[in-house]
Amino acid sequence: MLICEYGCRTCTTKFRFKLYGKENFDIMEEFIAELISKGQKSGEINEKLDAVEITENIHNSMIGLCVYARTTTGKEKLNRIVNSA
What is the rounded CA–CA span in Å between residue 14 and residue 66? 11
Question: What is the predicted pLDDT for the residue at 62?
Answer: 83
From first to last of the 85 residues of the chain, give the pLDDT tens digit: 344 444 555 556 656 666 556 677 788 888 999 999 999 999 999 999 999 999 999 888 887 887 777 777 777 888 888 788 6
DSSP per residue, the chain: ----TT-HHHHHHHHHHHHTHHHHHHHHHHHHHHHHHHHHHHTSS-TTS-HHHHHHHHHHHHHHHHHHHHH-S-HHHHHHHHHH-
- Domain assignments of the chain as residue spans, ordered by start: 8-84
